[in-house]
Amino acid sequence: MPSLLSRTIEATQALLFPWVFLALSASCLPGTILRLIREGRFATLFYPRALRDAWFTDFWGRIAGPGIRRDAAVRVIPLLQGRVDGGRVVERQVSRGIGGTVIEVGVGSGMWVDVYREVADISSEGESEVRRRNVGKGGDDGNASKGVITRVYGVEPNEGHHAALQKNIAKAGLEDVYRIVPVGIEDLDNPEKWDGKVEKGSVDCIVSILCLCSIPDPEKNIRELYSYLKKGGRWYAYEHVRVEYSWYMKAYQRYLNLFWPHFIGGCTLCRQTEKTIREAGSWEDINIGQPPDEFWYKTVPHRLGIFTK
Ligand SMILES: C[S@@+](CC[C@H](N)C(=O)[O-])C[C@H]1O[C@@H](n2cnc3c(N)ncnc32)[C@H](O)[C@@H]1O
């Protein structure tokens, strides 16, 4: 049992951490400005949205993303393997793992691309030959139920991430399988914005990892995403959400949110993303919750789980 002192220190650190995160992001801005000047991209400096994207690319790609990737792997990998129950990571598989046609929303620089390999691995017997079979081969409907990933659409509107994303796709050997969709999800169905098409009702899995906080008009766009899932399709979500448990933490999170979106690429803290996905349409099964190791002082609480259509 941790002592009162150690719990107080832990809570204080957790309450202060978001400010450290903002300061780290702020410290990135001068470097981004210098980079844009070096690259001769002067117009970007005077276009707030473009500057914000360039800044966020540097902050997420170099500073925040790798640390979050390392710490969140213990949740995200089991999630994609179907090993989460009520927000808790479990040993046994309680839902189907990802397979078939996948849309990953807001992929950033592709921190999680390599996980498709790992997940395919567990869906099989773990042999490298089987692993190779499990990503990218086939194309019929039966493959999805065998955990074979046939196509991944990585939706990412911030072009600043694309070079790193392409590198991560190549590193994972997924060039044949992975397609970058260079628009926001609001334009997924817009032929004027990109030259591909994803049919509604054709997608086996949607993956959203820490991104629905950043999309515009979440109710409308999450409903839109829902329409891409086929019957029986799954939505794997690891998202941070609005604090629900005490008035002072709610007030603290709201206060923090006055600054947060400006420093963290438009990310919003106070969204009820679980509720929004729940209400996007009818679901056959919902298995989601808050990870049990997140205590009252967590300013950025998460939801981890799977919705089955
Ligand atoms: C916090 S980052 C997370 C990136 C990635 N999922 C990860 O875990 O490393 C949020 C991402 O959502 C993307 N995003 C913003 N607006 C979006 C939109 N309308 N549609 C899809 N993605 C969007 C951002 O460009 C950014 O890369």
CATH of domain 72-308: 3.40.50.150
Domain boundaries along the sequence of the chain: 72-308
Identify the pLDDT of residue 249: 96
Q: For tokens 């729940």, what's the residue?
A: 278
Read off the pLDDT of each residue in 31-49 and give the average, rounded to a whole number. Answer: 96
- Please tell me the distance from the alpha carbon of residue 167 to that of residue 124, in angstroms, as a whole number: 26
Among the ranges given (1-10, 17-26, 181-190, 300-309), the one the predictor scored with the smallest mean pLDDT: 1-10
Give which of 166, 129, 128, 122 is closest to 146, Cα–Cα: 122
- Answer for the pair 225, 195: CB distance below 8 angstroms, yes or no: no
Identify the pLDDT of residue 3: 86
CA distances for 11 relative to 4, 91, 290, 296, angstroms: 10, 29, 18, 9
Identify the pLDDT of residue 121: 47
- Please tell me the distance from the alpha carbon of residue 3 to that of residue 38, in angstroms, as a whole number: 52
- Which residues touch 100 (CB under 8 Å, ≥6 apart)? 141, 143, 144, 145, 148, 149, 150, 151, 203, 204, 205
In the structure, what pLDDT confidence band is assigned to residue 135 with cuts at 50, 70 and 90? Answer: low
What is the 14 CA–ligand 1 centroid distance (Å)?
A: 24
Q: Assign 103 to helix, strand or coil.
A: strand
Ligand 1 pocket mutation, candidates 198, 211, 300, criterion most atoms within 8 A of CB: 211
Query: Is there an atom of ligand 1 within 6 Å of 107 CB?
Result: yes
What is the 185 CA–ligand 1 centroid distance (Å)?
A: 10
Q: For residue 41, what are its two tokens?
A: 């991209």
Q: Assign 245 to helix, strand or coil.
A: coil
Q: For residue 209, what are its two tokens?
A: 């990892």
Identify the pLDDT of residue 132: 44
- Answer for the pair 80, 98: CB distance below 8 angstroms, yes or no: yes
pLDDT, tens digit (0-9, with 9 covering 90-100), for 167-213: 999 999 999 999 999 999 999 999 999 999 999 999 999 999 999 99
Read off the pLDDT of each residue in 206-225 and give the average, rounded to a whole number. Answer: 98
The residue ranking higher by pLDDT, 304 or 132, is: 304
Q: For residue 175, what are its two tokens?
A: 């060039």
Strand partners of residue 206: 103, 235
For residue 215, pLDDT beyond 50: yes
CA nearest ligand 1 atom 22, residue: 106
* Beta-carbon-side half-sphere exposure of residue 279 (alpha carbons within 13 Å): 9
- Which atom of ligand 1 is the closest one to the Cα of 267? 1
- Which residues touch 53 (CB under 8 Å, ≥6 apart)? 158, 159, 160, 265
Query: Is there an atom of ligand 1 within 6 Å of 158 CB?
Result: yes
The residue type of 82 is G
- Which residues touch 216 (CB under 8 Å, ≥6 apart)? 184, 186
- Which residues touch 25 (CB under 8 Å, ≥6 apart)? 55, 59, 63, 64, 263, 264
- Please tell me the distance from the alpha carbon of residue 1 to that of residue 34, in angstroms, as a whole number: 49
Query: Is there an atom of ligand 1 within 6 Å of 64 CB?
Result: no
For residue 11, pLDDT beyond 70: yes
Query: Is there an atom of ligand 1 within 6 Å of 309 CB?
Result: no
Backbone φ, ψ for residue 136 (5° rounding) = 95, -10
The residue ranking higher by pLDDT, 148 or 201, is: 201
CA nearest ligand 1 atom 18, residue: 184
In the structure, what pLDDT confidence band is assigned to residue 148 with cuts at 50, 70 and 90? Answer: confident
Give which of 129, 79, 124 is closest to 104, Cα–Cα: 79
Average pLDDT, the chain: 91
> Cα 130 to the chain's mean position, in Å?
27
Neighbours of 117 (CB within 10 A): 17
Query: Is there an atom of ligand 1 within 6 Å of 256 CB?
Result: no
Backbone φ, ψ for residue 27 (5° rounding) = -70, -15
- Please tell me the distance from the alpha carbon of residue 277 to that of residue 308, in angstroms, as a whole number: 11
- Please tell me the distance from the alpha carbon of residue 37 to that of residue 143, in angstroms, as a whole number: 48
